[in-house]
Amino acid sequence: MARAPFQLAGHTISPGQRAQVDVPVARLYTHTPLHITVEVVHGRKEGPVMLVCGGIHGDEINSVEIVRRLLRSKAIKSLRGTLIAVPVVNVFGFLQQTRYLPDRRDLNRCFPGSETGSLGGRIAALFREQIVDQATHIIDLHTGALHRTNLPQIRAQLSPGSETERMADAFGAPVILNAELREGSLRHYAQNRGIPVLTYEAGEALRFDEWAIAPGVRGVLRVMRRLDMLTGEQRRRAQAPAELANGSSWARAPIDGILRPQVRLGARVAKGEVLGKVADPFGNQEDEVISMADGIVIGMSRLPLANEGEALYHIARFDEIEEAETAIESFQSSLTPPPDALY
């Protein structure tokens, strides 16, 4: 029995075809139309419908590059199921190089949205109705916020033996955070609908971080292989298994001033260890940023200027910290990626 065509926003994609679809979203002040552009790869054989999306926050351009490379991968030519790839969801923010929409709303706090609500609510509703609700699995790609960087990590709501856990294990990021769902996020909406979803966090906003992009592409392909959407085996050497963090917390600036960091991203730190020092420009007042727990630095500020109470270092806690350190060292030693044409 032949596989049915795939329908998206009034377009029909036949089995074995791929097509770009422009989904009308809004207009600029100039009356220029804006679209969310979607590429659909509809395989000849039945399988999952995987949504891979980037740019829900418009300044997170690492995610856009991951989707671009995924679409160039030779592996998806023999796809089973359907891939829905959206490089840029928040087209307004992407044009303005900002995280937010023109009304300063965070699109990832607007789901499920409303057709009669704010701009954010309307875009969320459109994206949900036209795209998200067709997916059986989702990978949502993100980076740290402006002037913050993240160690490659997966955030997901995990339960033993779940499809989400299976996807998270397959991805191959060195750290997995069993993260609570945030009201209004795509992950919150999808998980409550029974759609397994991963959030991949890596790198910094408005930057291309190759050490974040290349593992992101490989991770998406690994998940697709685990779901039997792709044929063939991963040819790269095996990495240490990802370690599940049992919690995380932020070390904050003790005073206003200029930060001089003393630890790097991915470093193992001990409770009470000095992570950096904050001083005023004259050096009259100086105070230390102290780790409140044993753990691994999975996120940190990249801006030396700090206000008292500002989050500077994100520390993940692990039951087996030696294993977590090994996983991160293994991951970092593998970061010599070949050209994207070889993925």
Task: State the pTM of this model.
Answer: 0.93
Residue 338's pLDDT is what? 40
Query: What beta strand segments (E) does 180-273 contain?
Result: 197-204, 243-245, 247-252, 257-261, 268-269
CA angle 234, 214, 245 (to 5 degrees): 85
Residue 341's pLDDT is what? 34
State how far the Cα of 307 lies from the Cα of 125, in Å rounded to an integer: 37
Residue 2's pLDDT is what? 78
What amino acid occupies position 161? Answer: G
Residue 337's pLDDT is what? 47
Residue 328's pLDDT is what? 83
Residue 334's pLDDT is what? 73
Residue 240's pLDDT is what? 63
**Largest Cα–Cα separation, the chain:** 78
Sites in the chain below the pLDDT cut of 70:
1, 233-240, 335-343
Name the strand (E) or helix (H) holding 48: strand 45-53
| Residue 250 DSSP symbol | E
Radius of gyration of the chain (CA): 21
Residue 234's pLDDT is what? 59
Which residues does residue 197 pair with via DSSP β-bridges, in sequence order? 138
- Dihedral in degrees, nearest 10, Cα atoms 195, 200, 206, 208: -130
pLDDT in tens, 227-254: 999 987 655 556 667 789 989 999 999 9
Ranges of H-type helices in 131-261: 163-171, 186-192, 210-226
